[in-house]
Structure 1
Amino acid sequence: MQAFIQGVGIGGSLIMAVGAQNAFVLKQGLKRSHSLPIAALCSLIDALMITAGVAGLGHLILAFPLIKDIASIGGAIFLLVYGAKALKSSFNEQTISEGATKGAETLKAAVLTTLGISFLNPHLYLDTVVLLGSISAQFEGVDRPLFGAGAVLASFVWFFSLSFGARYLSPLFQNPKAWSYLDRFICMTMWTIAAVLIWPYL
C-alpha cells in the first residue's frame, strides 16, 4: 500500500497545480456546462498518460524531442487564442447565469477544447508520462501498477471535486465583477503557460 499512497500523493501534487485543464474545468463547473463529462474526460486523459508512463513510454518522448517541440508550439498558439477569448469576455460584465447563457457551447465544442488544452500542452507528457513514469521505475512487481493506480485515483478525485466544488462558488459569481476577474485569471493562466512553452524557442 505504500506505493499506492505515494502515487496518490505525488500524482495529486502534480495535478493540483494551477494549469489550463484546471482553469477550464473550474469555469465549466461554474457555468454548469457539460461539467461532469469534461471532468471525466480530463480524468481519463490523465489515466491514459499515467498508464503510459508507468508502462515505460516516457523514454520514447525523451528519445524524440520533436514530439515535445510540436506540442509546445501548437499548444502555445492554442493557449494564446483561448486566453484572448477569455480576455475579450472579461470586458462584458455579466452574472453567472448570464455567463452560462452567453457562453453556452455544445458538448462537442467543450470536448474539443478539452482535448486541445490537454494534448497540446507538453506539461501533460512531462508530468505524467515522463516524471511519474520515472518515479514508478523505483517500484518492482505489483508495486509499480499500484503506484500508477494511486496517481490515477488522485486525478479522478481532483477533477470531480473541482467540478462539483465550483458549484458552491456560484453565489459569489452573481457579482458581475467576479465573473470578469475569473475570465482575466483564466487569460493570465493560459498566456503564462503559453509564454513558458514558447520561451525556449525565442
Structure 2
Amino acid sequence: MKAGDLGEMMVLTLRDPDRALDVLRGLDLPMAARWMVLLLAVTLSTLLAGLSLLLFPIEVDNPVSRMLSEPLTLAGIQFGAMVMSALFVAQIGRLFGGQGDFPDALLAIGWVELMLVGLQAVQVVMMVVFPATATLLSMVAFGLFLYLAVTMTKALHGFTSTPKVVLGLIGSLFLLGFVLSLIAAAFGIVPEVAP
C-alpha cells in the first residue's frame, strides 16, 4: 500500500465500511502483520500524546495523570485496551450471531486507530496554530471514533441493525471499563476522591 492508497482507504472507510473491511481482509495479512498494525497505531498515538504534553504541559497531581504522562505506560495501556477491545468485539459479536473473528477484529481496530492517529496529528498542529479549536477537534475525534466503531463492527459481523450494535458497544464499553477498573484497583492505581 502506498500513501495515496491509504488516503483512498480512509475515504472508503468513511463512505462504505463494508467494502473497506473487504479490502482489508483481501490484503490477507498474516497475524504478525495485524499485530504490527496495532503496534504502529499505538506507537504513533503515544508519540503524538508525548509531543502534545511537551507543547502543552499539564499538572500531574494524581496517580492516573502521572501514569498517563509516562509514554511507555500510556503505550502499554493503549495496547492492552485495544487488544481487549478486539477480543470483546469478536466474542460478544459472535454471541449475538456475528460472523467476525479475532484476527479481523484486531485488523479493524488497528485500522480505525490509525485513522484516529491521523486526526490526532491534525489536532496537535491545530492546538499550536489555533488553540481554540482543540475542544472542537476533540469532539470531532470522539464522534469519528463512535461512527467507526459502530460501522466497522457492523461490517465485521455482518449485522444490519445499527441500534443493536450501538447498544452492544455501549454494553461492551461498560464491561471493558469495569474490567480495567478492577485491574487498576489490583495495581493500586485508584484516583483519589476528595472528601
Greater RCO (Cα-Cα under 8 Å, separation 6 or more): 1
TM-score above 0.5: no
TM-score normalised to structure 2 length: 0.32
TM-score normalised to structure 1 length: 0.31
